[in-house]
Amino acid sequence: MIIALLTDFGLDDGFIGAVKGVIKTVNPDVDIIDISHGVTPFDILEGSIILKAVYSYFPEGTIFMCVIDPGVGTERKPIIVKTEKYIFVAPDNGLLTLALKNQKIKRIIHITNQKYMLKRETETFHGRDIFAPVSAYLSKGEALENFGVEIESYKKIDFPEVYVENGYMVGQIIKFDRFGNGITNLEVIPDFEEIVIRDFSIKKICRTFLEGDRDKPNVIKGSFGFYEVFLPEGSAKDVFRLKIGEKVKIKLKR
């Protein structure tokens, strides 16, 4: 059994060590895989994008413990979502939106049973005190209904929608990766005449990162499943001073 971890905890403060310690205390035999702990603090959308990009590459039955949780300790629910192939344990704050978009959901549980939580004096570290032990007990085969009460839905974030305006399909940059590539909200680009980013006109979609021009932005279908704006062996973000929300306009063929 695998528990895959996605958080914004970083690696400097020992938080991930504590989470893994709790998991291994409950189930010493479980395998733990780190997806990332470098999500920008509090950035639920970024975490949702990363989770969508990677979850399907894991074996069936994987438990995803996902914690980007600016509302820790508030009224937001801790939840378990079981789909046909996977289990997700996370705060109900929209983090699971993109990963669950194309999955068949079988059950959603609001975690309420204190038996599967650590005793705590504060409500500041649910990653350690709730999500870690719950994930570990799930990995031992504990029945879903034992963790709490079944609910009908989960919270979804407002994902920026692509729209058509004056003959252009309009998307935007929603995240930058560590290479300075601008990940857009465009999953599909139909036949087009040009792609416009500011005053730059782009006539083709590249297949490799070295294929692009070095004096203007380029576009490629990236590993996140979205189209990306890039510069070969450079940072499109830094060189062109791109920003989150930057428009990417596709002039459609008539």
pLDDT confidence of 186, banded at 50, 70, 90?
Answer: very high
Three-state DSSP class for residue 105: strand
Tens of pLDDT, residue by residue over 61-75, are 999 999 999 988 888
Q: Residue 73: its pLDDT value, please? A: 83
Could you tell me the CA-to-CA distances from 143 to 4, 53, 70, 134 in Å, in that order?
A: 19, 28, 29, 11
Average pLDDT of the chain, as a whole number: 95
Q: What is the pTM of this model?
A: 0.90
Q: Residue 110: its pLDDT value, please? A: 98
Mean per-residue pLDDT, 46-75: 95
pLDDT confidence of 128, banded at 50, 70, 90?
Answer: very high
Q: Residue 75: its pLDDT value, please? A: 87
**Statement: residue 193 has pLDDT above 90:** yes
Q: Residue 102: its pLDDT value, please? A: 86
Q: Residue 115: its pLDDT value, please? A: 96
Angle between helices 132-139 and 15-26 (to 10 degrees): 30
Phi, psi for 57 (deg, rounded to 5): -90, 0
